[in-house]
């Protein structure tokens, strides 16, 4: 499959850095980092990997890795410092150079418009709560399409909508840290859906592919019985809280309507969105994006199967389990019947540059080996899977955990900013090279 995308993923806020002279506006995560006790060790992303200045070195590393696609996000506030209106030419030029550099190395850009870094200026005006949010996002998308649409053909509008809404506006865990009531947060979600449709229409005019990168709770059947599979599938899409239910986020933008149970259970939400829900019927999505890091085995009685003592875990506590990577695409394909990209898959490990100057991250290699076996299995079955992206290219700023954990195929020294490819980098490179020989 020559058109299959083998790639890596990053996010602007996590790798780019900002020395205060780049013209970038403040984002909600900049503000969140300033709150005492929120980010581990008081870390911030002012420098992180300094990808803004070292992008050429990073592109060279990607080319050596052998990938044919790179998923990255544009920083909304780097292009529009105030969210709308005036353009920052330095930011615009940076992404021009990045995209051109990728294409020179035959690496397709896969552009994410929103990876959680809402401009602070728009957050001050209500952010997702404001009914004008879909228009703000459409203005941003229109500029992206006009400027880069001749070279970029794959777009992700929103990264992990559950985190963008439920975790950020309801649970108050991610920036901007709001704790709205359920109905208010549902309103934020609806504005995100409208934003996706309006931006998607603009991008589709450039003959682009459009979708979202959806995270789930990664349920899968613990045993292969019809009853167990049905139970796992039910839990995969629907949970007690609508703000954590995959169907409430995905059905509107992939099927054109909300699940019936949500409108019945929340009549105020149904009434307030009655007119604008008509806009969702114009489905602009052309693919399903999936992000996955583990799996949750569900028994026939609906309970999660207990794990044995000493089960393998990442440094963040996620269990090494590639079944979520297998069953998620199966469930999503059955429901939405669209091509699918695995846009994030990775593991946080305790790795470091050892005395020999190398990073021997055997745990990550084992994770990748298991994941890639699943991808090969899916490609042979009834799943139209079009790409696989490892999270992440570089060790970087990991949101609330700051610099305390590492996901990269490449080690970042946060003092010198030296890049050191890990053993997993070479493992993935060899895998891609050998896959290419089989095509």
- Residues 255-281 have pLDDT tens digits of 999 999 999 999 999 999 999 999 999
Average pLDDT over residues 70-81: 98
Catalytic residue IDs: 160, 344
- For residue 335, the number of C-alpha atoms closer than 13 Å in the C-beta half-sphere is 23
CA separation, residue 69 to residues 145, 397, 414 (Å) = 19, 22, 26
**How many of the other CB atoms lie within 10 Å of CB of 335?**
18
Question: E strands, 66-146, where?
Answer: 69-73, 108-114
Q: What is the predicted pLDDT for the residue at 64?
A: 98
Q: CA-to-CA distance for 365 and 371, rounded, in angstroms? A: 10
Q: CA-to-CA distance for 345 and 347, rounded, in angstroms? A: 7
* Position 382 confidence tier, pLDDT thresholds 50, 70, 90: confident
Q: What is the predicted pLDDT for the residue at 438?
A: 66
- Residues 4-26 have pLDDT tens digits of 999 999 999 999 999 999 999 99
Q: What is the predicted pLDDT for the residue at 439?
A: 47
Average pLDDT over residues 316-329: 98
Residue 166 DSSP class: I
Measured CA angle at 386 (ends 385, 389), to 5 deg: 100
Asked whether the predicted pLDDT for residue 37 surpasses 70, the reply is yes
- Which among 119, 143, 122, 142 has a CA at the least distance from the CA of 132? 122
Single pTM value for the model: 0.98
- Which among 227, 351, 245 has a CA at the least distance from the CA of 298? 227
Asked whether the predicted pLDDT for residue 175 surpasses 80, the reply is yes
- CATH H-level, domain 5-438: superfamily: Glycosidases (3.20.20.80)
Asked whether the predicted pLDDT for residue 437 surpasses 70, the reply is no
- Residues 86-131 have pLDDT tens digits of 999 999 999 999 999 999 999 999 999 999 999 999 999 999 999 9
The DSSP element (H or E) to which 6 belongs, if any, is strand 5-9
Place of tokens 């079009």: 386
Asked whether the predicted pLDDT for residue 189 surpasses 90, the reply is yes
Whether the Cβ atoms of residue 148 and residue 99 lie closer than 8 Å to each other: yes
Kindly report the backbone phi and psi dihedral angles of residue 67, in degrees, each rounded to the nearest multiple of 5, phi listed first.
Answer: -70, 155
Average pLDDT, the chain: 97
Residues forming beta bridges with residue 390, ordered by sequence position? 8
Domain ranges of the chain: 5-438
Residue 306 DSSP class: P
């Amino acid at each position: 499959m020559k058109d299959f995308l083998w790639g890596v993923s990053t996010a602007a806020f996590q790798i780019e850095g900002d020395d205060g002279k780049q013209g970038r506006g403040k984002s909600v995560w900049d503000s969140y980092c300033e709150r005492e006790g929120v980010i581990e060790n008081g870390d911030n992303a002012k420098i992180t990997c300094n990808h803004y200045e070292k992008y050429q070195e990073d592109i060279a590393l990607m080319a050596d890795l052998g990938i044919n696609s790179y998923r990255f996000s544009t920083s909304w506030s780097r292009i529009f410092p105030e969210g709308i209106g005036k353009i920052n030419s330095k930011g615009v030029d940076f992404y021009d150079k990045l995209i051109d550099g990728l294409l020179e190395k035959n690496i397709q850009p896969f552009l994410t418009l929103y990876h959680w870094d809402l401009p602070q200026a728009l957050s001050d005006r209500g952010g997702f709560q404001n009914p004008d949010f879909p228009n703000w996002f459409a203005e941003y998308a229109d500029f992206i399409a006009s400027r880069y649409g001749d070279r970029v053909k794959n777009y992700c509008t929103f990264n992990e909508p559950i985190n963008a809404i439920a975790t950020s506006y309801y649970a108050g865990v991610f920036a901007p840290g709001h704790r709205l009531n359920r109905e208010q947060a549902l309103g934020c979600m609806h504005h995100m859906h409208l934003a996706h449709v309006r931006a998607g229409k603009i991008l589709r005019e450039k003959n682009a592919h459009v979708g979202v990168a959806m995270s789930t709770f990664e349920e899968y059947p613990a045993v292969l019985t019809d009853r167990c599979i049905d139970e796992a599938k039910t839990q995969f899409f629907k949970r007690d809280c609508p703000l954590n239910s995959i169907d409430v986020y995905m059905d509107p933008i992939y099927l054109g309507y909300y699940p019936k149970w949500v409108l019945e259970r929340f009549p105020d939400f149904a009434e307030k969105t009655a007119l604008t829900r008509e806009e969702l019927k114009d489905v602009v999505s052309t693919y399903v994006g999936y992000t996955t890091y583990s799996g949750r085995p569900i028994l026939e009685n609906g309970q999660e199967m207990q794990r044995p003592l000493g089960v393998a875990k990442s440094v963040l506590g996620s269990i090494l389990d590639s079944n979520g990577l297998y069953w998620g695409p199966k469930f999503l394909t059955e429901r939405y019947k669209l091509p699918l990209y695995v846009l994030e898959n990775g593991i946080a490990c305790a790795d470091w540059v050892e005395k020999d100057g190398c990073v021997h991250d055997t745990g990550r290699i084992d994770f990748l080996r298991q994941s890639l076996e699943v991808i090969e299995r899916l490609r042979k079955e009834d799943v139209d899977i079009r790409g696989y992206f490892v999270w992440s290219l570089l060790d970087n700023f990991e949101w609330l955990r700051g610099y305390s954990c590492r996901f990269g195929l490449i080690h970042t020294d946060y003092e010198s900013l030296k890049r050191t490819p890990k053993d997993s980098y070479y493992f993935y490179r060899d895998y891609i090279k050998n896959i290419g020989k089989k095509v």
